[in-house]
């Protein structure tokens, strides 16, 4: 079992490392893109911060608490984007025949697709989210249980976004240009979960719990860490459910991926 | 047991065509239909057919890229689409029209990445790379990014890339397309050596009959997804009734040349076109013509593969 998980991971790192080495040839452009990425995502949070100059709470949550939610989901999507974000290029890999090439190589296809042209500069997003998350964390009343919950939140959240990236990218096996549809759910979803869900109508929260379970990325675990009862009356055990949801999502994504690959039609020549 | 075994191999594609504003009609296209193949280790087989005949679809099924919609298929003892990764260690694939290398990486980095991907032991990798770099004359190109290579250089790079992990089977899809005569010749020479010294089984699709003549004793012809011929090249010529043409430029105009084993098909001033069976040697014919007439120049036209296939197909 350990080997089943570890070997693909090692292969991923090997391929990614080679791309990192290759890209450092253009050192100046690497730093420009990294710093640029950091600033662009940074502006994002500045918006929320400015908002708090006119209001004192958002949906009943303080700036620090909103920052905690923002950092939680931001960290999860940034980690997912860093490691599997390349999959949104699946359609073009199919068109250019690159997927055919990858299919005749002995590394799991998903690993190859995700590690292809691995770009370390995407780490800028991770750093930005980490800064916000770290700043908010300084004000949390930490206990061992809450620390464990925070660790579980980041891991489960990343896995939920991993699964979404992969499952929605698989649409491209059937329709080549559906990358935007995937973005609506991943980055779009991340925008929603950057705010306390109390600002949205109850239907949105239900949708984010039962349909597209993004509320498990940061909302429910954060309620536990921030020591808040669920404002919408969901039972307390939903707050510890994130790992289960993450596993289920990963299972669904794997199934969709396998189905996509077996229905793959390749291109004409 | 054969290295490649297919019985009743089929692949259909469902194609939706627009008919009217909203309606779509669903049609089944048979890319490959009821194909039987048996290829033994060490063979060099030419797989030919017109465009859209199903060559690429077959190769994609043999490599595990496409899942067959029917029939039985075993390559090196495994079902390719189910054991794609295990099979990958035992096969090499070269797509003539597109590269399997990475555009932005120098050849050397591409090869190193492949070493990692295939887990080629370092010493084996070094020996193989040194050998292929030598044979394919890649020494000066190792530090050039792939996007800066010419078509011929890239093809040599691609072939090296497909062979670094010592595959038993090498599939080549149009390997000589777009190459000049000298490059074609060297590539064929290399493939012959590869087959003779390493015992690599070769399956190549091509439009160039000379590729087949230079390399393959056996030819499989596919048309409309079905096998129409499987046998020796000479037999293909015989069955396809293909002819070669000797173009004779005489010093003076003359009545149609009459020599044994050839017929004058066309006369145009001092130039005459004589056709003779493709499997016969041109040498005695040339000697006979030269002995009887004042010849200014001679040339030979090879039969066109498309014509041979068309002829074959119209008879079957």
Last residue within a domain, chosen from B196, B211, B238? B238
Mark whether B248 and B189 lie in a shared domain: no
**Together in a domain, B135 and B8:** yes
Q: Are residues B52 and B103 in the same domain?
A: yes
Per-residue pLDDT, A24: 67
CATH number for position B282: 3.30.70
* Chain B environment of A108 (Cβ under 8 Å): 85
Q: What percent of chain A has pLDDT over 90?
A: 55
pLDDT in tens, B104-136: 888 998 899 899 899 999 999 999 999 999 888
Judgement on whether residues B252 and B201 belong to the same structural domain of the protein: no
Q: How far is B25 from chain A (nearest CA, A)?
A: 17
* Residue of B13, B66, B117 with shortest CB distance to A105: B117
Q: Tell me, yes or no, whether B11 and B61 share the same domain.
A: yes
pLDDT at residue A2, rounded to an integer: 64
Residues B247 and B234 in one domain: no
Average pLDDT, chain A: 89
pLDDT attached to residue B72: 95
A122 assigned to some structural domain: yes
Q: Do B218 and B270 sit in the same domain of this protein?
A: no
Q: Flag whether pLDDT at A100 surpasses 80.
A: yes
**Domain count of chain B?**
2
Among A7, A21, A106, which would you mutate to test the B interface (most chain B Cβ atoms within 10 Å of its Cβ)?
A106
Q: Are residues B9 and B57 in the same domain?
A: yes
Question: Residue A185 is part of which domain span?
Answer: 59-262
| pLDDT of res. B160 | 94
Q: Does B86 touch chain A (CB under 8 A)?
A: yes
Number of domains in chain A: 1
Strands (E), B4-95: 4-18, 24-39, 44-48, 70-75, 91-95
- Residues of chain B with Cβ-Cβ distance to A106 below 8 Å are 85-86, 88-89, 117-119
Give the nearest chain A residue to B174 (CA atoms). Answer: A269
Residues B128, B228: one domain? yes
Strand order in the sheet with B271-277: B263-268, B271-277, B243-250, B295-301
In-domain check, residue A50: no
Q: Is A8 on the interface with B (CB under 8 A)?
A: no
Q: Is B190 on the interface with A (CB under 8 A)?
A: no
d(CA A159, CA A107): 21
Residues B303 and B182 reside in one and the same domain: no
CA distances from B164 to B101, B185, B219 (A): 13, 22, 27
Residues of A in contact with B104 (CB under 8 A): 22
Number of neighbours of residue B192 by Cβ within 10 angstroms: 14
φ, ψ (nearest 5 deg) of residue A257: -60, -50
Among chain A residues, CA nearest to B93 = A104
**Mean pLDDT value of segment A244-251:** 96
Q: What CATH number should be reported for the domain holding residue B14?
A: 3.40.50.300
For residue B225, give its domain range: 4-238
Q: Examine residue A5 and state whether it is found in any structural domain, yes or no.
A: no
Are B112 and B227 in a shared domain? yes
10 Å CB burial of residue B251 (0-12, 13-18, 19+) is exposed
Percentage of chain B with pLDDT > 90? 41
């Amino acid at each position: 079992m350990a080997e089943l998980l570890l070997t693909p991971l090692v292969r991923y790192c090997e391929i990614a490392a080679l791309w990192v080495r290759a890209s450092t040839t253009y050192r100046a452009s690497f730093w420009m893109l990294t710093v640029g990425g950091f600033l662009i995502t940074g502006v994002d949070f500045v918006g929320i911060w400015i908002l708090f100059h006119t209001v004192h709470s958002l949906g009943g949550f303080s700036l620090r608490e909103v920052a905690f939610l923002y950092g939680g989901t931001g960290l999860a999507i940034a980690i997912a984007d860093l490691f599997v974000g390349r999959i949104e290029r699946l359609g073009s890999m199919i068109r250019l025949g690159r997927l055919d090439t990858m299919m005749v190589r002995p590394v799991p296809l998903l690993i190859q697709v995700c590690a292809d042209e691995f770009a370390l500069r995407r780490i800028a997003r991770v750093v930005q989210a980490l800064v916000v998350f770290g700043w908010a964390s300084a004000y949390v009343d930490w206990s061992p249980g809450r620390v464990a919950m925070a660790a579980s939140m980041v891991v489960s959240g990343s896995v939920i976004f991993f699964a979404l990236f992969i499952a929605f990218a698989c649409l491209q096996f059937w329709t080549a240009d559906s990358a935007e549809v995937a973005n609506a759910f991943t980055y779009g979803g991340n925008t929603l979960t950057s705010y306390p869900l109390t600002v949205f109508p109850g239907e949105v929260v239900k949708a984010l719990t039962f349909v597209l379970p993004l509320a498990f990325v940061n909302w429910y675990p954060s309620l536990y860490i921030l020591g808040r009862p669920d404002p919408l009356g969901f039972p307390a055990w939903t707050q510890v459910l994130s790992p289960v949801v993450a596993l289920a999502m990963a299972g669904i994504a794997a199934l969709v991926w396998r189905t996509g690959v077996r229905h793959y039609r390749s291109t004409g020549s | 047991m054969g290295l490649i075994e297919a019985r009743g191999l089929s692949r259909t594609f469902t194609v939706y065509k627009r008919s009217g504003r909203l309606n779509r009609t669903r049609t089944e296209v048979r890319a490959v239909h009821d194909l039987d193949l048996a290829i033994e280790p060490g063979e060099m087989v030419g797989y030919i057919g017109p465009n859209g005949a199903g060559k690429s679809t077959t190769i994609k099924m043999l490599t595990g890229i496409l899942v067959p919609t029917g029939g039985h298929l075993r390559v090196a003892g495994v079902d390719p689409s189910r054991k794609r990764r295990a099979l990958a260690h035992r096969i090499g694939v070269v797509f003539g029209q597109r590269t399997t290398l990475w555009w932005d990486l120098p050849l050397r980095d591409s090869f190193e990445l492949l070493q990692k991907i295939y887990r080629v032991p370092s010493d084996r990798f070094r020996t193989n790379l040194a050998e292929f770099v030598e044979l394919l004359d890649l020494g000066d190109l190792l530090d050039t990014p792939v996007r800066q290579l010419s078509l011929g250089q890239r093809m040599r790079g691609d072939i090296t890339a497909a062979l670094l992990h010592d595959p038993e089977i090498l599939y080549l899809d149009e390997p000589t397309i777009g190459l000049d005569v000298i490059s074609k010749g060297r590539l064929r020479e290399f493939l012959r050596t590869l087959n003779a010294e390493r015992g690599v089984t070769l399956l190549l699709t091509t439009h160039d009959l000379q590729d087949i003549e230079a390399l393959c004793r056996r030819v499989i012809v596919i048309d409309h997804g079905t096998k129409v011929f499987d046998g020796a090249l000479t037999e293909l010529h015989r069955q396809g009734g293909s002819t070669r043409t000797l173009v004779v430029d005489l010093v003076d105009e003359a009545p149609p040349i009459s020599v044994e084993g050839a017929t004058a098909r066309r006369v145009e001033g001092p130039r005459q076109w004589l056709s003779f069976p493709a499997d016969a040697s041109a040498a005695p014919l040339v000697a006979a013509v030269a002995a009887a007439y004042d010849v200014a120049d001679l040339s030979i036209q090879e039969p066109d593969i498309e014509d041979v296939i068309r002829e074959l197909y119209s008879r079957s």
